[in-house]
C-alpha cells in the first residue's frame, strides 16, 4: 500500500492543497464578488385637498408663487405685454450683479453731469416719473438704486445704465441676456425704464424675476421702504398703495397708458414655524385708478395663497427603501434616516427618488453604513435623507470562495 506523505498524490494531499489555495485567496482578497444594490419604489401622497380657485382678475394677467416652492397658479393667458416701470427690477438686478453691495454699504459715489441733469429735465417735462438731480451733485450707488426703485426715477435708470455698461444699448443687451439665462421666455427689454411699450413680459416671468431679485438683501431692503430721503430730491414717497404695511414689500409698481396698472409684491409670513414669502404679480389692470387696482389684485392673491399653505413632515425613518443582495448572505435591508419638512398647498405632488451608490469595492460593509440617499421633492424643494444598512454585509466565507458558492 503506498504511503501518504508530503510527496504523495492521494486525496488528502489534494484537500490540503485546496485549503491552502483558499487561504491564499482569502488573504489576497481578490476581486469583490457581485453585490447588487436594489432600490425599492417609494411613493408619498400629494398634499391633501383640492386647490380652490384663486381670486383672478377679470382683465390683464396675474400669477402667484411661493419662493423656494414654486408657482402656485396663474391666469390661463400668459403672453408678452408692456410692463412699464416693473422693467426697473431687472435694471436694479443687473447693477447689483455688476456692482454688488453688502447691507449698509453706500457703494461708489457718482457725480451727476450736465447730461444727467438734462435727462432729468427732459423726462420731467414729458410727465415721466423722475428723480430730481443737478449737475455736480454727489450721489452713491445705493441712493441711485433707491431713486430708481422708490419714486421710480426713469432718469436714474438712464444714469445707472450708462455708468454700469458704458452705454444704454450695452446695458439693454445685458438685461435681455439675463432674462434668457433665467428662463423668462416672454420677457424682452427695449429700454431701461419701461417707458417704451416694447419692454414686455408676462406675470409668470415677472414673478420668477422678483423671487430672484428678493434674494439680494440690498434689493429686498430697498423695496420694503415706503419713502426715501435723497440729497437734492429730498423726501420721496413710494407710489405703491401698499408700501409701508407690515409684512408687505411692494417690489415694484408700473403704469403707462399702454401697460395699465402693474404691480409686483411680496408678502412675508410664518407657517407652522417655517418662514415663507409669497410673491404675486398683476399686469394690465385698467379703470379709473389702475395702480390701486393692480395692488388690490396682487394683495388678494398673496393673502389667498398664504391661507392655503401648510407644513408637512414626511418621515421615512426606518422605512425600507432598498436592499443589498448577494449569493452568500441573505439580503441586507436599507432604510432611510430622518424626515423632510415641506411647505405646500392642496394637491402639490411629493415625489421620492432612491439613489444608491455604486457597487462596493471592499467588504465588509458595516451596520449603519451610508450607501445612498433618498431625495424628496415638492415643487422646487429638495430634501436629501441618508440611506443606511440595517446590518453588516460580510465578506464571503472561505468555504464560499473555495467552492464558488455552490
pLDDT of residue 11: 41
Q: What is the CA angle 234-240-244, rounded to 5?
A: 75
pLDDT of residue 250: 84
Which residues are within 8 A (CB) of 41 and not within 5 positions of it... i.e. 6 or more apart?
Answer: none
In whole angstroms, give the CA distance from residue 304 to residue 66. 12
> What does the DSSP 8-state code read for residue 319?
-
Contact indicator for 117, 131 with CB cutoff of 8 Å: no
- Find cell 388678494 and name the residue: 300
> What does the DSSP 8-state code read for residue 84?
G
In whole angstroms, give the CA distance from residue 159 to residue 84. 18
DSSP class per residue in 353-388: EEEE-PPPSSS-B-TT-EEEEEEEEETTEEEEEEEE
Listed in order, strand segments (DSSP E) in 11-166 are 36-39, 61-66, 70-74, 81-82, 109-111, 138-140
Cα–Cα distances in angstroms (integers) from residue 285 to residues 64, 89, 198, in the given order: 16, 19, 18
Helix (H) or strand (E) holding 250, with range, is strand 248-256
Which residues is 286 bridged to in the sheet? none
**Pairing mode of beta strands 70-74, 61-66:** antiparallel
Q: Is the peptide bond before 40 cis (omega within 30 degrees of 0)?
A: no
Contact indicator for 314, 374 with CB cutoff of 8 Å: no
In whole angstroms, give the CA distance from residue 69 to residue 377. 10
Domains of the chain: 28-47+314-403 (2.60.410), 61-308 (3.40.710.10)
Q: Is the peptide bond before 364 cis (omega within 30 degrees of 0)?
A: yes
Q: 349 is written with which cell numbers?
A: 405632488
Cα–Cα distances in angstroms (integers) from residue 270 to residues 7, 192, 310, in the given order: 86, 35, 10
In whole angstroms, give the CA distance from residue 179 to residue 55. 28
Burial of residue 96 (CB within 10 Å: 0-12, 13-18, 19+) is buried
Which residues is 201 bridged to in the sheet? 81
Helix (H, G, I), strand (E, B) or coil at 187: coil
In whole angstroms, give the CA distance from residue 67 to residue 207. 9
Contact indicator for 255, 262 with CB cutoff of 8 Å: yes
Which residues are within 8 A (CB) of 99 and not within 5 positions of it... i.e. 6 or more apart?
Answer: 107, 108, 141, 164
Tally Cβ neighbours within 10 Å of residue 14.
11
Tens of each residue's pLDDT in the chain, 406 residues: 444 344 444 443 333 333 333 333 434 456 778 899 999 999 999 999 999 999 999 999 999 999 999 999 999 999 999 999 999 999 999 999 999 999 999 999 999 999 999 999 999 999 999 999 999 999 999 999 999 999 999 999 999 999 999 999 999 999 999 999 999 999 999 999 999 999 999 999 999 999 999 999 999 999 999 999 998 999 999 999 999 888 998 899 999 999 999 999 999 999 999 999 999 999 999 999 999 999 999 999 999 999 999 999 999 988 999 999 999 999 999 999 999 999 999 999 999 999 999 888 899 999 999 999 999 999 999 999 999 999 999 999 888 888 866 6
Which residues is 281 bridged to in the sheet? 63, 264
pLDDT of residue 5: 42
Q: 84 is written with which cell numbers?
A: 412699464
Identify the sign of the CA torsion 266, 100, 183, 191: positive
**Pairing mode of beta strands 61-66, 274-285:** antiparallel
> What does the DSSP 8-state code read for residue 235?
E
Nearest alpha carbon to residue 148 among 68, 86, 59, 78: 86
Amino acid at each position: 500500500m503506498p504511503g501518504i506523505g508530503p510527496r504523495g498524490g492521494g486525496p488528502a494531499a489534494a484537500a490540503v492543497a485546496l485549503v491552502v489555495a483558499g487561504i491564499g485567496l482569502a488573504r489576497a482578497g481578490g476581486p469583490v464578488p457581485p453585490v447588487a444594490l436594489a432600490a425599492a419604489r417609494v411613493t408619498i401622497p400629494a398634499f391633501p385637498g383640492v386647490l380652490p380657485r384663486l381670486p383672478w382678475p377679470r382683465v390683464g394677467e396675474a400669477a402667484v408663487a411661493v419662493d423656494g416652492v414654486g408657482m402656485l397658479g396663474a391666469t390661463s393667458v400668459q403672453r408678452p405685454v408692456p410692463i412699464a416701470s416693473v422693467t426697473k427690477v431687472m435694471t436694479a438686478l443687473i447693477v447689483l450683479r455688476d456692482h454688488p453691495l453688502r447691507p449698509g454699504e453706500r457703494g461708489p459715489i457718482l457725480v451727476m453731469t450736465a447730461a444727467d441733469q438734462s435727462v432729468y429735465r427732459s423726462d420731467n417735462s414729458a410727465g415721466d416719473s423722475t428723480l430730481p438731480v443737478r449737475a455736480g451733485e454727489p450721489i452713491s450707488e445705493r441712493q441711485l438704486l433707491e431713486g430708481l426703485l422708490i419714486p421710480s426715477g426713469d432718469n436714474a435708470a438712464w444714469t445707472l445704465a450708462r455708468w454700469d455698461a458704458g452705454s444704454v444699448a450695452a446695458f439693454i443687451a445685458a438685461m435681455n441676456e439675463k432674462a434668457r439665462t433665467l428662463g423668462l421666455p416672454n420677457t424682452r427689454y427695449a429700454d431701461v425704464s419701461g417707458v417704451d411699450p416694447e419692454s414686455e413680459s408676462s406675470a409668470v416671468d415677472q414673478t420668477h424675476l422678483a423671487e430672484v431679485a428678493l434674494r439680494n438683501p440690498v434689493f429686498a431692503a430697498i423695496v420694503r421702504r415706503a419713502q426715501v430721503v435723497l440729497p437734492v430730491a429730498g423726501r420721496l414717497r413710494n407710489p405703491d398703495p401698499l408700501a409701508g404695511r407690515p409684512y408687505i414689500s411692494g417690489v415694484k409698481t408700473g403704469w403707462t397708458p399702454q401697460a395699465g396698472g402693474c404691480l409686483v409684491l411680496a408678502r412675508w409670513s410664518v407657517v407652522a414655524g417655517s418662514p415663507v414669502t409669497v410673491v404675486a404679480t398683476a399686469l394690465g389692470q385698467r379703470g379709473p385708478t389702475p395702480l390701486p387696482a393692480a395692488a388690490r389684485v396682487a394683495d388678494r392673491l398673496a393673502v389667498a395663497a398664504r391661507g392655503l399653505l401648510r407644513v408637512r413632515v414626511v418621515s421615512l425613518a426606518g422605512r425600507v427603501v432598498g436592499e443589498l443582495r448577494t449569493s452568500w448572505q441573505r439580503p441586507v435591508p436599507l432604510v432611510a434616516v430622518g424626515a423632510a419638512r415641506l411647505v405646500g398647498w392642496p394637491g402639490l405632488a411629493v415625489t421620492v427618488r432612491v439613489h444608491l451608490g455604486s457597487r462596493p469595492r471592499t467588504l465588509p460593509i458595516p451596520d449603519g453604513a451610508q450607501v445612498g440617499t433618498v431625495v424628496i421633492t415638492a415643487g422646487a424643494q429638495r430634501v436629501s435623507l441618508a440611506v443606511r444598512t440595517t446590518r453588516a454585509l460580510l465578506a464571503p466565507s472561505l468555504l464560499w470562495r473555495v467552492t464558488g458558492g455552490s
